[in-house]
Amino acid sequence: MNFLERLKSEEGFCIEHNMESVEIQKKSKMLCYKYNMCPPDDTQKKAEILGELLGDYNENVFIEPSFRCDYGFNIHFSGMAFINYNCVILDTSPVHIGNEVFIGPGVCIACAGHGMHPQQRAVIETSKPINIKDRVWIGANSTVCSGVTIGEGSIIGAGSVVNKDIPAGVVAAGSPCRVIRKITDEDMVILD
């Protein structure tokens, strides 16, 4: 399996660092730069750039600048999503983002990792896919770590560090992120 195939694999990887990643990232870095420099009202240009950058994209995906990612082709949207300001997605493995997903400002979604032992840290790269299911809300300044799945309809509280799977239909928060409670009908908002 070559480096590009490893990046796109749903299995994740643990490999020795190589310079291939730098070459492959050139396109995404330029597209992120162009996207972040677009005038706010130039929706057509922004859509064109996202269509070229992202693996799976549709017209119901809204991303506020500044947006950064490693590769782009590993980010897959399956429906409507809103990503607020200053989001970083380190997509060294596939990142799947479901329908009706809201991602708060300053969120970092990081498939990438390094060797744990200090002697290996500079030479070992690790990565595992991230799955964010339908109707998830990730609060501001949260971090979603490598290999995590966030279950359908769950809320991640602001400032959380999600390093383990979160089940469906819960409110979870903290560092490390833990389930606080289930979401119930009592959470419905009554409109005036």
**Active site amino acids:** 114
H or E element, residue 44:
helix 43-53
> What is the number of other CB atoms lying within 10 angstroms of the CB of residue 186?
5
Burial (0-12, 13-18, 19+ Cβ within 10 Å), 55: middle
> What is the number of other CB atoms lying within 10 angstroms of the CB of residue 128?
20
H or E element, residue 68:
strand 67-69
